[in-house]
Amino acid sequence: MSFADLGLSDELLRAVTEAGYSEPTPIQAQAIPPVLMMKDLIGIAQTGTGKTASFVLPMIDILAHGRSRARMPRSLILEPTRELAAQVAENFEKYGKYHKLTMALLIGGVNMSDQIAALEKGVDVLIATPGRLMDLFQRGKILLTGCGLLVIDEADRMLDMGFIPDIEEICTKLPAQRQTLLFSATMPAPIKKLADKFLSNPKQIEVSRPASTNLSIDQSLAETTSRGKRDTLRDLLQSADVTTAIIFSNRKTTVRDLAQSLGRYGFKVGQIHGDMEQPERLRELDRFKGGEINILVASDVAARGLDIKGVSHVINFDVPWHPDDYVHRIGRTGRGGASGVAITLVTPEDAEAIEAIEKLQGHKIARRGKPAAAEQAEAAEPKREPRRDRGERREKKAEAPAPRAARPSRAEAAPRTEAAPRAEAAPRAEVPAPRDAKREDRRPRRDDRRRDFVEDEPDDGWNGPVPSFLNVTLG
C-alpha cells in the first residue's frame, strides 16, 4: 500500500514524499479513502500510530475546493492541549505547502490578536482547544455555521480533561449537515455516547493494539515518595538483576535530569527525549545496542518508533498518564517468550493512574513495597531522608565519599551494603527544586491550557516552535 493508492492529489503526494513518509500507517490507509468520500468516521488507534495525517491529508484535498468567508471557518479541529493543536497546525503547514489554505490556531497561552484577525478574514481551518474556542464564541468573534467539517481528535484525552460538555456545546453550534471525524486511542462509554449523538452513520476503523500485555513480563510496583524516587530507582538498578534497562519518564526535563544524575552515580546511562533530533536519538540507541551504555532514560514519544525491544528491565520512573503508554512501555521487555521485568515507581499521588492501568489490563499489579536496601538503610539511619531533603546540610557532602569516586562504574558497585553511605553523599543537584518536584507529579488538568506555553509540558510528541505562518507571539 502506498500513499498514491489512497486517492490523494498529486500536490499532496509530493508534499508527503518530501516530508519523508514512504508508506501510510494502517490507520492512514484505512481512514483516508472514506474521509475523502466525505463519510463520518471513528478512528481508534493507539497513540503514535499516525492519526493526525489520517485526517490532515484528506482535509487538505477536501478544502482545496471552495473558499473561506469572513468569521466563518470552513473546518474545525478540536484538540485537548495546545501542544497537540500546534502539532496539527504544523502538519497542515508541512503537507499543505502546495495548497493555499488559510488557518488559525486558538490555544491558551498565546497572544490571540493575530489569530482573531485571521478569523475575521476567514480561514479554511481552525484548530482549537475547546475552552479557548468557547471563550471566543461567547464573545461573538466567530461563527461556526459555515463549518462543514469537524474533527474531534484525541477524544479520550478530552474526556480525561473534562472537555466533553464543551465539545457537546460546540457540536450544537455547527451545521447539522457536516462531516464529523472522531479519533481516539480508546473508546470508553462517554466517547461512544458522544459519537452516537454527533456522528451520523460513521464508518468505524479500529487498528488493533500493537502491544497487548505480555504475560511473560513480571510486573510490579515499587512504592516510594516523589522525593524518594531517585533513591528507590538507584536501589532497584543495583539490587535487581539489571542487564539492560529502559527507564521511562513522563517529561523531557526529567529524562535529562535523571540521566545526568545516574551518570554522576556511575551508571552507564544514555537518554532519548523529544528535544533531541532523530539522528541524535539514533546515536544514543546505537550506544545502547552496542553495550556502551546499558541504561537508557526515555520519554514515551522519543522511544516510540525506535526499535528497542528485548531489554531485561523496563522501569517506569513516572507512572504514565495514559494506561496505553504503560502497555507500550513494558512491551519493551520480555522478547520472544523470554521473561522480562517491569517495575513501576509509585507514589501515593499515582493511585488513580495505577487504577486505570490495572483496569485496562484486567488485573492487579503486585506491590513490591520498598526494596530491601532502602528499608535496611532507613532502619539503620532513620534521619536519612529528612536530612537530605531539607538540603541545608548539603555543604557537608564533602565528609562522605564523592559518589563518582566511590563508584566509577555500576559493575563495581556492591549492592545493598553501600546504600546508606551513598545516599548520604547525594550531590547538590539531587535535591529537587520544589517547583519542579511539584510539576513532575501533576497530572494534566483542565486549566493546564492556561499555563505558560514554553513551560515544561508532557511529552506529547511535538516540541518544536509554533508554526511560523501563524505569527503567534508567546504570551
Burial class for 431, CB neighbours closer than 10 Å (0-12, 13-18, 19+): middle
Q: Which of 401, 426, 397, 408 is nearest to 266 (CA)?
A: 408
Q: Which span sits near Mg ion by CB under 5 A: 19-27, 51-59, 70-78, 411-419?
A: 51-59
Distance CA 326, CA 217 (A): 12
* Residue 378 Cβ vs ligand ADP, minimum distance, rounded to whole Å: 42
Partner whose footprint covers residue 180, from Mg ion, ligand ADP, none (CB < 5 to 8 Å by kind):
none
Q: Which span sits near Mg ion by CB under 5 A: 49-57, 124-132, 281-289, 428-436?
A: 49-57
| Residue 43 or 334 with smaller CB distance to Mg ion | 43
Instruction: Report the b/e string of 177-198 with b at 16+ CB within 10 A.
Output: ebbbbbbbbbbeeebeebbeeb
Sign of CA dihedral 69, 75, 81, 87: negative
* Residue 14 Cβ vs ligand ADP, minimum distance, rounded to whole Å: 15
Residues ≥6 apart with Cβ < 8 Å to 30: 43, 205, 207
* Residue 246 Cβ vs Mg ion, minimum distance, rounded to whole Å: 23
What are the C-alpha distances in Å from 265 to residues 8, 188, 292? 53, 43, 16
Residue 271: beta bridge partners? 297
Q: How far is C-alpha 225 from the geometric centre of its chain's CA atoms?
A: 23
Burial class for 472, CB neighbours closer than 10 Å (0-12, 13-18, 19+): buried
User: Binding of Mg ion at residue 51 (CB under 5 A)?
Assistant: yes
Partner whose footprint covers residue 53, from Mg ion, ligand ADP, none (CB < 5 to 8 Å by kind):
ligand ADP
| Residue 284 or 324 with smaller CB distance to Mg ion | 324
Partner whose footprint covers residue 299, from Mg ion, ligand ADP, none (CB < 5 to 8 Å by kind):
none
Partner whose footprint covers residue 68, from Mg ion, ligand ADP, none (CB < 5 to 8 Å by kind):
none
Partner whose footprint covers residue 49, from ligand ADP, Mg ion, none (CB < 5 to 8 Å by kind):
ligand ADP
| Residue 20 or 434 with smaller CB distance to ligand ADP | 20
* Residue 248 Cβ vs ligand ADP, minimum distance, rounded to whole Å: 17
* Residue 181 Cβ vs ligand ADP, minimum distance, rounded to whole Å: 12
* Residue 52 Cβ vs ligand ADP, minimum distance, rounded to whole Å: 3
Q: Which span sits near Mg ion by CB under 5 A: 43-51, 139-147, 297-305, 335-343?
A: 43-51
Residue 179: beta bridge partners? 149
| Residue 68 or 299 with smaller CB distance to ligand ADP | 299
Distance CA 61, CA 7 (A): 10
| Residue 23 or 196 with smaller CB distance to ligand ADP | 23
| Residue 158 or 420 with smaller CB distance to Mg ion | 158
* Residue 462 Cβ vs ligand ADP, minimum distance, rounded to whole Å: 8
Report the length, in residues, of the chain: 475
Find out whether 56 and 214 touch, Cβ atoms under 8 Å: no
| Residue 125 or 136 with smaller CB distance to Mg ion | 125
* Residue 47 Cβ vs ligand ADP, minimum distance, rounded to whole Å: 4
| Residue 53 or 240 with smaller CB distance to ligand ADP | 53
> What are the start-end ranges of the H helices in 305-457?
323-330, 351-361, 372-380, 384-390, 403-406, 419-424, 434-440
Residues ≥6 apart with Cβ < 8 Å to 455: none
Q: Which residue is nearest to Mg ion (CB)?
A: 51
What are the C-alpha distances in Å from 73 to residues 62, 87, 214, 277, 387? 14, 19, 46, 35, 59
Q: Which of 66, 133, 78 is nearest to 106 (CA)?
A: 133
| Residue 84 or 118 with smaller CB distance to ligand ADP | 84
Distance CA 453, CA 468 (A): 15
* Residue 56 Cβ vs Mg ion, minimum distance, rounded to whole Å: 10
| Residue 24 or 403 with smaller CB distance to ligand ADP | 24
* Residue 51 Cβ vs Mg ion, minimum distance, rounded to whole Å: 5
Pairing of strands 313-316, 125-128: unpaired
The residue ranges that bind ligand ADP (CB under 6 A) are 21, 23-25, 28, 45, 47-53, 461
Partner whose footprint covers residue 30, from Mg ion, ligand ADP, none (CB < 5 to 8 Å by kind):
none
Binding site for Mg ion (CB under 5 A): 51
